[in-house]
Structure 1
Amino acid sequence: MESVEFYYDYISPYGYLVNTQLSRSGLPIEYRTISILEVMAIVGNQPSPKCPPKMGYALEDTRRWAKRYDVPFALNAEWWDAIMSGKLDMKLFAAGALVAQRDGGFEAYHQAVWEAIWGRPRDVVTPAGRIALLDDAGLRGREIWEQAAHHAIAGQLEACNQRAAARGVFGVPTFFVGDDMFFGNDRLDFVVERAQRSGIFA
């Protein structure tokens, strides 16, 4: 059976928001992990922090969507500061997802990382904090983060980025149903409708 492709990166608050709705939607999801800033560089797009008015709007808009979805929403300020200062490589979390997809435990990893960054903030900046996060989710935290730092995973992530750019991805969250692309958390209804028409979702 076909599935809906979901391109995401944990740096996106809109990705977090729409992810909270996927289980409610019942859609069959194929998770496509990417590093969106790398993809943006390939296709010539600019992230929101480089446009202060857009960033300010997004902060208010995401709060509105969280209220509508009735989900917890709180930016992990320590994580954000570490990302913006270059003290923490944002690709680490995407790399960890690839490890979890390969070795098992992806659902637990995916939920834990989303919540720690955008839902219920906790330490993901320090190595000990990241290990504890995954251990608490029932995973082998140390092993996952060690594998995430391996050059083979970095190469796999780069290949994912290149494929996404070639597909036409320019931001996240992005969905594909067949060859039809939908960008943004507010396009989920269109995704559902398209999946229904294609027969992959009743």
Structure 2
Amino acid sequence: MTIEFVYDYRSPYSYLADTQLKKLSTDITYKPVDITSVMKAVNNHPSPMCPPKARYAVADAGRWAKHYGVPFTPNGGLMRAMGAGRFDGMLLSCAGLAAQELNIFNNAHKALFEAIWASTCDLTAEADRKNFFGERGIDAEELWSRASSSRIRDLLAKNDSEAAERGVFGVPTVFVGDEMFFGNDRLQFVRARLHGMPIEGAAA
């Protein structure tokens, strides 16, 4: 059975969920979105609009990272660049789509999450991008060039529209068939569905 993973690289909970999904031993269809566009379409509001919620989310994500045993060192410089409008965070999701076309998705997908949640890489600087992705066997110039194209942005907009139409209101969202599960803390329910178990029988 295949699951669909709807996510945005800017989401700490998407990062956390991604570290666990591969353990489900099932095929995964990756659907990057621009979550701000999806939220706008369904009249939801992102955490940064509520500073207390944003602070809590980072602290809570840190707890989950310890629980999972995965790195979690948010890239403050990159976040400030996005907040100041010096870096378009949507480009990360575009890079995920570009990586799919370039057949380098596995390496690039991991690197994109790592760049924001487990590194200090300055993606706004061409030299830093080249070094960061190059160390992971990825041609940063080719990836960024394709990610910046209007065609890839159109593909991302299509993903956004489809996600909103299916009822997505935030990320991470996982679909098992037509059944939707929202949040990193719902993966036990995803696991139950994949094994044909009732939700109430899901193991913690």
Taking structure 2 as the reference length, what is the TM-score of the superposition? Answer: 0.93
In 2, the alpha carbon distance for the partners of 1:24 and 1:36 equals 25
Counterpart for residue 2 of structure 2:
3
In 2, the alpha carbon distance for the partners of 1:51 and 1:114 equals 23
Secondary structure of residue in 2 paired with 1:44: coil
Counterpart for residue 113 of structure 2:
114
**Aligned-residue CA RMSD (Å):** 1.2
Counterpart for residue 64 of structure 1:
63
Q: 1:27–1:192: 8 Å Cα contact kept in structure 2?
A: no
In 2, the alpha carbon distance for the partners of 1:87 and 1:156 equals 23
1:69-148 map, 5 Å: 69-148=68-147
Shift of 1:7: 0.3
In 2, the alpha carbon distance for the partners of 1:55 and 1:69 equals 21
Shift of 1:101: 0.5
Shift of 1:14: 0.5
Point out 4+ residue stretches in structure 1 off by more than 4 angstroms: none
Counterpart for residue 39 of structure 2:
40
Shift of 1:128: 2.2
Matched, 1:158 2:169: no
Q: What's the % identity of the aligned pairs?
A: 44
Shift of 1:51: 0.9
In 2, the alpha carbon distance for the partners of 1:138 and 1:186 equals 32
Counterpart for residue 187 of structure 1:
186
Question: CA deviation digits over 1:100-157, x for unaligned, max 9?
Answer: 1012110000111111210233222212222322222112210110111111111111
Shift of 1:23: 2.0
Secondary structure of residue in 2 paired with 1:197: coil
Structure 1: gaps spanning 5 or more residues: none
In 1, the alpha carbon distance for the partners of 2:119 and 2:68 equals 15
Secondary structure of residue in 2 paired with 1:11: coil
In 2, the alpha carbon distance for the partners of 1:151 and 1:24 equals 35
Q: 1:7–1:33: 8 Å Cα contact kept in structure 2?
A: yes
Of 18-27 and 111-120, deviating more is: 18-27
Secondary structure of residue in 2 paired with 1:132: helix
In 2, the alpha carbon distance for the partners of 1:24 and 1:195 equals 12
Of 117-126 and 137-146, deviating more is: 117-126
Structure 2: gaps spanning 5 or more residues: 198-204
Q: 2:121–2:129: 8 Å Cα contact kept in structure 1?
A: no
In 2, the alpha carbon distance for the partners of 1:92 and 1:131 equals 16
Secondary structure of residue in 2 paired with 1:182: strand
In 2, the alpha carbon distance for the partners of 1:114 and 1:162 equals 23
Of 82-91 and 49-58, deviating more is: 49-58
In 2, the alpha carbon distance for the partners of 1:189 and 1:111 equals 22
Shift of 1:176: 0.3
